[in-house]
Each structure stands twice: as C-alpha cells, then as structure tokens.
Amino acid sequence: MASASTAVGNRSPVTTWVLRIVVVAYLFLLIAWPTGLIAQNTFRDGLDGMRSALGDPDVTHALWLTLRVSVIAVAINLVFGVGMSLLLVRYDFPGKRLLSALIDLPLSVSPVVVGLALVLVYNPRYGWLGEGLHDRGIDVVFATPGIVMATCFVVLPLIVREVVPVLEELGDEQEQAARSLGASGAQTFWRITLPGIKWAIVYGVVLSLARSLGEFGAVKIVAGRSIGNMETATLLVQREYQNFHEDVAYSVSLLLVVASVLCLVVVALLRPTEGSQPELIKEKK
C-alpha cells in the first residue's frame, strides 16, 4: 500500500481535488451512469418485464446453455491453467519462453478472428479436422462443443496469468522438503503447492467465469445461423433488442451485469489477501 505521506499529493489540495473530480466524473459518465441506467430501464414498469422475460422458454434455455458452457469451459481451463503454470514455473524445457508468450495471444485476438479460426478447422464441410470428425458423428462448429471451444479460447490466459506470479513468489523449498521426506508428486501438489496458490486459482476462475458468461463475438460466429438451441444469453440479447423486444434484452442484460459485478465483488474481496498470502500460509503452519 502507498504510505500516507505523499510527496506530490499532500502539498497541493487544488490539484488533488481537480484530479479527484476529473476521475470521478469520467468514470461516472463512461461507466457508472450508463450501467445504472440498465437497471432503471429494466424496472421501468416494475417487475413485470423481468418476470415475463424469465417466463420465456427461449430466455431460460439461453441462460442454461450459457451457464453450462461457462462451467465446462472454466473447468477445462482450470485444469489447463494450473497444469501449464506448474510446468512453466517449475520445469525447464525448450521453447518455454515462446509458449509462455503464445498463451497470452488470445487476449489480443479479435473475437471474430477466434470464431473464424475455429470455423476454418472444425467446419463439418471444409474444415481441416471438421470433416473427419463429422464422419465419426462429432460436430464441433454449429454445436455446443464449438461454443465451449470458443469460450475456452478467450479465457485461456486468465488462470495462467494469475497463478504463475504466485508460484514464482512461493518458491519451491517447501515442495522439495516434502519430496525429500518421501511425499509423492500428487501428495506434494495437494498438500503443499495447492494451498499456496489456492486464492490465485479462485481469482482466475472467477475472472474466467465472468468472461465466459459474456462472450459474444466468437460464440456468434461459431454458433452460426442455427439460432434456437445454440443461442447463448448474449446472442439472445442481440436478437431480442434488434426485434424491438427491448424489455427482454434489458432484463437478460441486467442479469448478466449483476453476474459480472458479483464476480468482481468476489475478486475485490479476495484481492487484499493475495499480497500477504505467503506469510499467511506460514502463520498457519
């Protein structure tokens, strides 16, 4: 944390206030006010809009699909993220730096490119792997697996980015001690490593979940025009809004906003413990 005595800040109350007001105004106009309006628009006619939206089978189906896809994608990414972080920090292998840089790639790839890339490989008619998979009765694109893959793609770096720095900071002394005392690899992981990176994992999972629930572009391309059973919550928001069912669009949007803000609150509550984490673990011992 910053110390209370701030060299520049303390001596200039005018600047402090100007900066404070500028920041608050900017954030209010760009983020807080528009976000608040969603709640206001949803409840303009009381609870009716929300109630009718939740009674719509399309809406409930889309919400369930989104939830299912997100949970699967986050679970896959959890295994991948934790495993990859361990490999990147604890082991040495050729191409490690390249791999670690490539894992960040999905952060800066357009969602449309993600969708296009997956369609090119997994399309049942012309895809590199899609044709073979289709012949074996597996459809990836224009089906749920494609939506899961698109979601996995966009959340891929989130857990690795959280866990790697914590693993680096923890060091491997305790793990080596455990191994030298005869603990197996699995025992060392569950009893020593995992408790140390627990909060980083939770943090990464929550971020991934928030991102999964809201993925739009990549999912839109991968779901194709097979609207209906492949429609996730974000796709439904677009369709309903464009069909002038604004009340439904607002209701589902509000649910998504509440979910993402809840994720943020969870993360904000976890964050302060993150820095002092290695010390906390030692105290418990």
- Interface residues for another protein in 163-222 (CB under 8 A)? 168-173, 185, 207, 210-211, 213-217, 220-221
Least distance between another protein and beta carbon 47 (Å): 19
Nearer to another protein, 86 or 229 (CB): 86
If you count them, how many residues does the chain have?
A: 285
Q: ∠147-152-155 over CA atoms, to 5°? A: 125
Whether 240 and 249 have beta carbons less than 8 Å apart is answered as yes
Question: Rule CB under 8 A: which of 33-92 touch another protein?
Answer: 33-35, 37-38, 41, 76, 80, 83-84, 86-87, 89-92
CB atoms within 10 A of CB 234: 19
Q: Which of 112, 78, 103 is nearest to 215 (CA)?
A: 112
Minimum CB distance to another protein, residue 30 (Å): 6
Query: How is residue 119 written in tokens?
Result: 């369609």
Closest of 38, 59, 13 to residue 231, by C-alpha: 59
Q: From the list 93, 125, 136, 182, which residue makes contact with another protein (rule: CB under 8 A)?
A: 93
Residue 283 as a binder of another protein (CB under 8 A): the answer is no
Number of residues that bind another protein (CB under 8 A): 106
Interface with another protein (CB under 8 A), residue from 67, 72, 75, 116? 116
The CA distance from 24 to 219, in Å, is 34
Span of 45-53, 55-63, 98-106, 190-198 interacting with another protein by CB under 8 A: 98-106
CB of 197 to another protein, least distance (A): 13
Q: State in angstroms the smallest separation of the CB of 8 from another protein.
A: 6
Contacts of 32 (CB under 8 A, 6+ apart): none
Alpha-carbon distance values, 120 to 104, 140, 212 (Å): 22, 11, 22
Among 55, 108, 135, 181, binds another protein (CB under 8 A): 108
Single-letter residue type at 183: A
Tell me the per-residue interface mask from 219 to 258 with another protein, x by CB under 8 A, - otherwise.
-xx-----------xx--xx--xx------xx--x--xx-
